[in-house]
Amino acid sequence: MKRVLIAAAFLAAVGGAAAGSLELEIPFDPGSVELIEDGICTMPVFTGMSLVEVDGLPRLPVLPVRVALPTGCAARSLEVLDAVYSPLPGEHRIAPAGPLVPLSLMDAAMPSAPDPHIYSLDTPWPGESCRLSGSGVVWGIPMAYLTVNPVRWNPATLELEVLRHLSVSISFEQDPAALTVSRRSAASEAQAMDLARRLVVNPDGVSPSGAELVCERDLEYGQYVIITSPDYLAQAQELADWKTAKGVPAEVFTTSWVASQYSCYDLQQEMRAFLADCRDEGADWVLIFGDDDKVAARDAYMSAYGETVNAPSDLYFADNNDTAPGADHWDTNNNHVWGEPADDVDWHPDLWVGRASVNSASEAGIFVDKVFTYENVPGTDYFETGPREMRVGYSTGVLWYSPYYSGAASAEIISGYIPSSVWEEEKCYEENGNSGAVTIAMINAGPHHVYHASHGSQTYMYTSYGSNYGVSDIMAQTNISSGHLPAIWNSIACFIGQIDGYECCGDAWLASPGGGGFGCFNSRYGWGHYGAAGYGPSERICERFYYEHLVAGVIPLGQAHLASMDHFCPPEAHSDSFDVDVLDWCLKEYNLLGDPELPMWTEQASGLTVSHPSSIGGYAVVTVNVTDGRAPVQNARVCLQKGDWQTGEVYVVGFTDASGSVSLYATPESTGNITVTVTAHNYDPYQGVITVTGTGAGGSEEAFGRLVLLPVTPCPASSSVSIAFSIPSPGPVRVETWDVAGRLLGTIFEDELAGGFHTLQWSLGLGDGGGLPSGVYWIVVTGPGGSASARAVVLR
């Protein structure tokens, strides 16, 4: 058995600071302001920012900001230390915002009147440069949410000022609710911290989750959880087997099993209770395998502009910080209406959730094949594929003519995020001749991404006057069967993701036998911003998806989807800048139909060159070297597997260092084959075999007659490392860290251990609560069988 230990120094440090404050500067480029002239009015905009959407308030930019907090802490207050604005030349009239209107009903809308109180001021508005909007936890990492006002305007003098410098102090304190994960793998922790660094303005301030770190096979439910209708168990297991093989251990649970283990109001609440346990035990990814009539979605309360609906919202399963079965934060008043304003919806993603909205075994198989095709799984025979160009396709229409509101406006905002050196774009706008036939041809040409901005219904989408694109067109697409990848679709359209009661466009996009792919769709109305094309809430959420993916570098599909939504959360905290009810609506209804763990390509696929032993005679240290044929590939995931990931003989996962190398313990108990799977972003996966010709030391764990220490991984490290070693017999073991000058910095671990293999997860912290700065260190392990040392490199 392989044992996993947690360093005492780490356990002493994860409690976080009891209380304190964090001072930081908010990065901002005042030179990036763009002044768009709209008749007699000026509309200032910035890349990646939204506009104020509250009826009648001046239509100025607003910037939501995320700030990393210490482990286990929540933000309580904010003080602006310094805010400097500089005037822009000239006089500028700012039009009032709003109203926000369902895309299908804009013809009935009228422009909002200016707020008389604001427009009669003789002082700059907004009056505050920054405020605390809330505090939350994303995938176990605590964050504060701020709202920054980068531009202010004096209605009397018509002077427009741009923020030049902003520094703030955030007060925080410990909060048990900020510790949402009890146990997780070291890889999951590293990935969560890496994602947080991409989202916050203070990446150096990202702290650990506070979870106990364990090896993958000690996770109770795995990292990837599939909840399926019993009808699709075989297809779900096929997908789980691939995820497990590549180092993301996956388990399949049927709805009947969930219902037998939890007793709540309905199946959806039982699923939520189960997923709360999964979250606590280190699961990251959740795939709901079945359409709404097979695995029911939660119908969430949404009400805006006089219309109230209950619509499918898989955010119910992703935002899951419940502490006990049935203690449902989306129904705190227990009236069985979920997501009301009176409920305690947290909004922030704790799990990355997607849905395979399939209605038959055939559709279930097509979904799995599309995942395999997209990931270029070795041995996939669904479709033969070759090198693909990196392409983005747009299909937009004119939504209203008075005022003129074109989907091309949001497409052009997205186009600004596309790296032109890598990607090609095909812009099918109604203004330049879009139609159903043009959209079909654009998709068949094989784009990686498709953005649609126009009207829609359950079974068709508008492309231009008199021309639509519908379910039958989607089912006949050939973008995959002709050798391209499944395409990832985002759309602002109304109803095309109405998975309850319809075989909608989103369902068809997944079920198309030769085309389509995965996508994010509205289950009810999409919403626009009267007079501000490109800046409606549905548009901003879609635009943010491409920003998070292509600018911030968020790679998994489910993370880009939910991170883009989290940017605008919680809605009620933005009452001075967004229409809370409409934003609430847009966030709840926008669901991912696809695999949340899917690694989205950002370059053409390259091949991996992998070397490893062809055979071993028993217990062994297996070194795997990974290159692209020219240079080492760092951070490639390597998985060795023999048997079931939890109960089998071998299941170990590691990541290559800067030299493209990783060494893993293999402890086979019988002859046979170990499967080696290597994956890395923008590379085709590799699979090979190591033949086991014997077993070590008669099946005992004392395979080596001396202490053996593997290289410390990852190298370099920024948040935690894995220290793996073997001792030949029981006895005391001490693990220390030294600097390159020969000074003992501290004892990481000291205890009696049984003979055999052990893995120590260390957060790079010392007993005093401090952390190692960037540098080179030595890890020294002393115990039965001698002493050994290995280098650790820390990059903060």
Residue located via tokens 């079931």: 644
Residues 415 and 495 in one domain: yes
Residues 426 and 521 in one domain: yes
> How many CB atoms sit inside 10 A of residue 31's CB?
7
Residue type, 259: A
Using the predicted structure, report yes or no on whether residue 516 has a pLDDT greater than 80: yes
Distance between CA atoms of 42 and 162, rounded to whole angstroms? 14
Residues 690 and 713 in one domain: no
Residues 775 and 654 in one domain: no
Residue 13 lies in a domain: no
Per-residue model confidence (pLDDT) at position 714: 80
| Mean pLDDT, residues 540-558 taken together | 98
Per-residue model confidence (pLDDT) at position 435: 98
* Pairwise pLDDT comparison (318 vs 325), residue with the higher score: 318
| Mean pLDDT, residues 166-180 taken together | 97
CA angle 421, 487, 463 (to 5 degrees): 95
Which tokens in the block code for residue 687? 């699979």
Residue type, 107: D
Q: What CATH number did the domain enclosing 44 receive? A: 2.60.40.3800
531 in helix, strand or coil?
coil
Residue 384 lies in a domain: no
Boundary residue ending a domain (538, 562, 593): 593
Reported pTM:
0.90
38 — pLDDT class (breaks 50, 70, 90): confident
Per-residue model confidence (pLDDT) at position 765: 81
Residues 450 and 580 in one domain: yes
Write out the DSSP string of 415-469.
Answer: HTTS-TTT-EEEEEEGGGT--HHHHHHHHHT--SEEEEES-B-SSEEEEETTEEE
Boundary residue ending a domain (154, 179, 204): 179
377 — pLDDT class (breaks 50, 70, 90): confident
Residue 283 lies in a domain: no
Residues 681 and 726 in one domain: no
Distance between CA atoms of 464 and 439, rounded to whole angstroms? 10
Distance between CA atoms of 109 and 141, rounded to whole angstroms? 42
Per-residue model confidence (pLDDT) at position 98: 85
Which tokens in the block code for residue 232? 């699709």
Residues 685 and 788 in one domain: no
Antiparallel, parallel or unpaired: β 708-709 and 34-38: unpaired
Residues 498 and 559 in one domain: yes
Distances (CA, A) of 283 to 121, 182, 219, 322: 52, 11, 8, 15
Residues 111 and 143 in one domain: yes
Is the Cβ–Cβ distance between 494 and 102 less than 8 Å?
yes
Residue located via tokens 């997205």: 414
pLDDT, tens digit, 9 for 90 and up, residues 48-62: 899 999 999 999 999
Beta partners for 776? 793
* Selection from 470, 239, 255, 235 nearest residue 362 by Cα: 235
Handedness of CA 310, 314, 315, 317 (dihedral sign): positive
pLDDT, tens digit, 9 for 90 and up, residues 281-303: 999 999 999 999 999 999 999 99
Q: What CATH number did the domain enclosing 399 receive? A: 3.40.50.1460
Residue 651 lies in a domain: yes
Continuous H helices in 246-309: 255-261, 267-280
Of the chain, the percentage scoring pLDDT greater than 90 comes to 79
Residues 494 and 621 in one domain: no
Residue type, 137: V
Beta partners for 170? 22, 78
Q: What is the CA radius of gyration of the chain?
A: 27
The residue range of the domain holding 453 is: 390-593
264 — pLDDT class (breaks 50, 70, 90): very high
Using the predicted structure, report yes or no on whether residue 4 has a pLDDT greater than 50: no
Residue 696 lies in a domain: yes
Is the Cβ–Cβ distance between 718 and 193 less than 8 Å?
yes
Residues 786 and 681 in one domain: no
Residue 257 lies in a domain: no
Q: What CATH number did the domain enclosing 734 receive? A: 2.60.40.2550
Q: How many domains does the chain have?
A: 4
Residue 156 lies in a domain: yes
| Mean pLDDT, residues 17-42 taken together | 91
Q: What CATH number did the domain enclosing 674 receive? A: 2.60.40.10
| Mutual angle of helices 233-245 and 361-375, in 10-degree steps | 20
* Pairwise pLDDT comparison (182 vs 718), residue with the higher score: 182
Boundary residue ending a domain (593, 628, 656): 593
Residue 531 lies in a domain: yes
Residues 706 and 685 in one domain: no
Own/partner long-range contacts of 114-118 (Cβ < 8 Å, ≥24 apart): 114/56, 115/55, 115/56, 115/57, 118/56, 118/57, 118/58, 118/155
